[in-house]
């Protein structure tokens, strides 16, 4: 039996026929039958460009329906899809092409000259272009090439994609994801989140990341539902589209912007059945405000580049603010001591480990790093600090690398941030550890006040008195207009550590 993930998708696409698959605000898009035919033409183009089973296809293009068709065509011919962040610079692209050695690099039309130079330097044999209007040399090749209606045989353990981690510390690592990894997770999410053919997903996420590509698009394909492709998050557009949608997947900043808008009402969200949040922590305050204004409790879930989705608040049942829920079907977890690796008791904080059919098979050409993080018994060390409460809900309390050890005591940044965020006039905060001559690391807070509000360092420190043990209280408080974030909304604490690193010297 052919275990190529596209084999499953193709069956659903045939069944759905003339039903909408992807639509855009401009009126373009594809019905399922049209999309299936387009993958045949693109498969022919990829073959003509020299892509064979197992070859990597690196892609750095802007969001369009055709990008998803390219992803599907790559699967169809047994290739390995390698999406790259649209914000990466030429130097970063050079690293990825040199490391992954793709057979083809697909870039924006306007970047062709630069891309050819990088390809020549890294030994990438072919470069093609793809634009947001369905234009570019790849689509021209698809019109000329002989279509392929076959689906290359793949084993469940063959690679379907490589996604590079953000690389905030050290070199970016290529997480190798198999057909089983992607297929099992999509099927699990369809069931867990009750997706069906009538769903219309409002898609405002980028598609070079697990969330926007594998969660949103794979789940849509598996369910046979439809999605509206938006180039980016725009609150005006979201409010226009919610009466016609049923599901939205977003990062926390989507929801913080929506709750600040007076247009967010039960009436405008009446047709929506589900709001999902992930990729970064959602504050309890935003969760509660959104529910108060709409009657909808946001469903927060937890996933990673290396694992797809692992944990989720329940569709039916309490969606608890500040938690990421419980394991999805087929996923196991354990929380272990940072030093010994032994499981910790309920309610204690440790390192979260995950095992299941969704967990990747290793890092591309990094066997030592793979052995460090993917254990022999199949558990993956996520690097996230977590605890499970008495009701079985899991709380993510921060990244292990963000843990502050001050005077020999462990300080969990999220605990301090939650208290600071309760101070009137605070919009958000980030707590980091900086080199300190006496304590090893000094607890340091960076606070973003609400617009028009002026706060002092002493006000923040006075507010924390009596609420936190002395060793958890910041030794310094700095103020900023905003916190640095990546494209998925995660606060980049490494940038804050760099900026303030000489504070105690």
- Residue 76 inside a domain? The answer is yes
CATH number of the domain that residue 320 is part of:
3.40.50.12780
List b or e across 249-258, with b for residues whose CB sees 16 or more CB atoms inside 10 angstroms. Answer: bbbbbbbbbb
Q: Residues with Cβ < 8 Å from 358, sequence gap 6 or more?
A: 181, 184, 185, 188, 307, 308, 309, 310, 328, 330, 331
Tell me the per-residue pLDDT of 293-309, one tens digit each, with 9 for 90 and over: 999 999 999 999 999 99
Max Cα distance, the chain (Å): 73
- Residue 321 inside a domain? The answer is yes
Instruction: Report helix, strand or coil for 10.
Output: helix
- Residue 255 inside a domain? The answer is yes
First to last CA, the chain: 64
- Residue 6 inside a domain? The answer is no
Nearest to 394 by CA among 482, 313, 484: 313
Q: Which domain holds residue 453?
A: 403-500
β-pairing verdict for 104-107 and 127-129: parallel
CA dist list (Å): 247 to 199, 217, 277, 292: 7, 13, 11, 19
- Residue 478 inside a domain? The answer is yes
Q: Are 409 and 367 part of one and the same domain?
A: no
Q: Are 212 and 321 part of one and the same domain?
A: yes
Taking all residues of the chain, what is their mean pLDDT, rounded to a whole number?
94
Q: Are 389 and 408 part of one and the same domain?
A: no
Q: Are 224 and 270 part of one and the same domain?
A: yes
Q: Are 300 and 232 part of one and the same domain?
A: yes
> Average pLDDT, stretch 341-365?
96
Q: How confident is the model at residue 328 (pLDDT cuts 50, 70, 90)?
A: very high
Q: What is the Cα–Cα distance from 283 to 448, expressed in whole angstroms?
A: 15
Q: Which pLDDT score, from 0 to 100, does residue 411 have? A: 87
Q: Which two tokens stand for residue 73?
A: 């065509």
- Residue 16 inside a domain? The answer is no
> Average pLDDT, stretch 10-30?
97
Q: Are 334 and 389 part of one and the same domain?
A: yes
Q: Are 420 and 481 part of one and the same domain?
A: yes
Long-range interactions of 367-372: CB distance < 8 A, separation 24+: 369/173
State the angle between helix axes of 5-16 and 65-76 in degrees (0 to 180), rounded to the nearest 10. Answer: 130
Tell me the per-residue pLDDT of 59-94, one tens digit each, with 9 for 90 and over: 999 999 999 999 999 999 999 999 998 988 898 899
- Residue 356 inside a domain? The answer is yes
Question: Please, are residues 102 and 82 in contact by the beta-carbon 8 Å criterion?
Answer: yes
Q: What is the Cα–Cα distance from 43 to 148, expressed in whole angstroms?
A: 6
> Average pLDDT, stretch 149-171?
87
Residues in the chain: 505
Strand order of the β-sheet with 127-129 is: 127-129, 104-107, 56-60, 80-83, 159-164, 174-178, 362-363
> Average pLDDT, stretch 203-225?
97
User: Out of 312-326, 343-357, 457-471, which region has the weakest mean confidence (pLDDT)?
Assistant: 457-471
Q: Are 277 and 382 part of one and the same domain?
A: yes
Question: Please, are residues 476 and 460 in contact by the beta-carbon 8 Å criterion?
Answer: no
Question: Please, are residues 77 and 149 in contact by the beta-carbon 8 Å criterion?
Answer: no
Domain boundary pick from 154, 183, 210: 154
Burial of 131 (C-beta count, 10 Å sphere; 0-12/13-18/19+): middle
CATH number of the domain that residue 459 is part of:
3.30.300.30
Q: What is the Cα–Cα distance from 242 to 404, expressed in whole angstroms?
A: 42
Percent of the chain with pLDDT over 70: 99
Q: Are 285 and 378 part of one and the same domain?
A: yes
**Is the pLDDT at 168 greater than 70, yes or no?**
no
CATH number of the domain that residue 138 is part of:
3.40.50.980
Q: What is the Cα–Cα distance from 63 to 143, expressed in whole angstroms?
A: 21
**Is the pLDDT at 153 greater than 60, yes or no?**
yes
Q: Residues with Cβ < 8 Å from 396, sequence gap 6 or more?
A: 281, 302, 324, 352, 384, 385, 386, 414
Q: What is the Cα–Cα distance from 44 to 38, expressed in whole angstroms?
A: 10
Question: Please, are residues 345 and 351 in contact by the beta-carbon 8 Å criterion?
Answer: no
Rg (CA), the chain: 23
Q: Which two tokens stand for residue 67?
A: 């990008």
H/E segment holding residue 80: strand 80-83
Q: Which pLDDT score, from 0 to 100, does residue 486 have? A: 84
Q: Which pLDDT score, from 0 to 100, does residue 184 have? A: 98
Q: Which two tokens stand for residue 464?
A: 């924390």
CA dist list (Å): 226 to 162, 261, 363: 25, 27, 33
Tell me the per-residue pLDDT of 19-28, one tens digit each, with 9 for 90 and over: 999 999 999 9
Q: Which pLDDT score, from 0 to 100, does residue 169 have? A: 46
Q: Which pLDDT score, from 0 to 100, does residue 166 have? A: 65
Q: What is the Cα–Cα distance from 250 to 254, expressed in whole angstroms?
A: 6
Q: Which pLDDT score, from 0 to 100, does residue 295 have? A: 97
Tell me the per-residue pLDDT of 423-482, one tens digit each, with 9 for 90 and over: 999 999 999 999 887 788 899 999 999 999 999 999 999 999 988 888 899 999 999 999
Domain boundary pick from 365, 399, 433: 399
**Is the pLDDT at 221 greater than 50, yes or no?**
yes
Count how many domains the chain has. Answer: 3
Q: Are 371 and 411 part of one and the same domain?
A: no
- Residue 159 inside a domain? The answer is no
What letter does residue 471 receive in the DSSP assignment? G
Q: Are 220 and 147 part of one and the same domain?
A: no
H/E segment holding residue 162: strand 159-164
Q: Are 299 and 332 part of one and the same domain?
A: yes
């Amino acid at each position: 039996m052919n275990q190529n993930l596209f084999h499953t998708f193709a069956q659903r696409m045939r069944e759905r026929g003339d039903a909408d698959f992807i639509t855009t605000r401009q009126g373009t898009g594809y019905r399922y039958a049209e999309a299936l035919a387009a993958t045949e033409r693109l498969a022919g183009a990829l073959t003509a460009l020299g892509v064979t089973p197992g070859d990597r296809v690196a892609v750095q293009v802007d969001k369009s329906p055709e990008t998803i068709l390219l992803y599907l065509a790559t699967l169809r011919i047994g290739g390995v899809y390698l999406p790259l962040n649209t914000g990466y610079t030429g130097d970063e692209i050079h690293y990825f092409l040199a490391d992954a050695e793709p057979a083809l690099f697909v870039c924006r039309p306007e970047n062709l000259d630069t891309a050819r130079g990088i390809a020549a330097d890294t030994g990438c044999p072919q470069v093609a272009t793809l634009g947001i209007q369905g234009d570019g040399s790849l689509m021209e090749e698809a019109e000329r090439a002989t279509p392929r209606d076959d689906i290359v045989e793949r084993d469940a353990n063959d690679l379907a994609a490589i996604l590079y981690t953000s690389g905030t510390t050290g070199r970016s690592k290529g997480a190798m994801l198999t057909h089983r990894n992607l297929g099992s997770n999509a099927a699990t999410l369809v069931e867990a989140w009750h997706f069906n053919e009538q769903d219309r997903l409002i898609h405002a996420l980028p598609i070079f990341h697990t969330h926007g590509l594998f969660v949103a698009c794979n789940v849509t394909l598996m369910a046979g539902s439809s999605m509206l492709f938006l180039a980016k998050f725009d609150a005006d557009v979201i409010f226009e589209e919610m009466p016609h949608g049923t599901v939205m997947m977003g990062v926390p900043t989507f929801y913080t912007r929506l709750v600040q808008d007076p247009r967010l009402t039960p009436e405008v969200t009446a047709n929506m059945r589900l709001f999902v949040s992930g990729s970064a922590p959602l504050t309890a305050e935003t969760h509660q405000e959104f529910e108060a204004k709409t009657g909808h409790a946001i469903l927060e879930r937890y996933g990673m580049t290396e694992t797809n989705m692992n944990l989720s608040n329940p569709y039916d049942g309490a969606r608890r603010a500040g938690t990421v829920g419980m394991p999805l079907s087929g996923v196991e977890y354990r929380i272990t001591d940072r030093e010994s690796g032994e499981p910790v008791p309920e309610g204690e904080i440790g390192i979260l480990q995950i095992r299941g059919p969704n967990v990747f098979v290793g890092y591309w050409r990094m066997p030592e790093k793979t052995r460090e993080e993917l254990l022999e018994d199949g558990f993956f060390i996520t690097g996230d600090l977590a605890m499970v409460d008495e009701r079985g809900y899991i709380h993510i309390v921060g990244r292990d690398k963000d843990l502050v050890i001050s005077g020999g005591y462990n300080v969990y940044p999220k605990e301090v941030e939650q208290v600071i965020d309760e101070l009137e006039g605070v919009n958000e905060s980030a707590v980091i550890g900086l080199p300190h001559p006496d304590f090893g690391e000094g607890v340091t807070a960076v606070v973003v006040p609400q617009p028009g509000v002026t706060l002092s360092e002493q006000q923040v420190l006075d507010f924390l008195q009596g609420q936190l043990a002395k060793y958890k209280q910041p030794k310094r408080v700095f103020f900023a207009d905003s916190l640095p974030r990546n494209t998925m909304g995660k606060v980049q604490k490494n940038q804050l550590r760099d900026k303030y690193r000489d504070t105690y010297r």
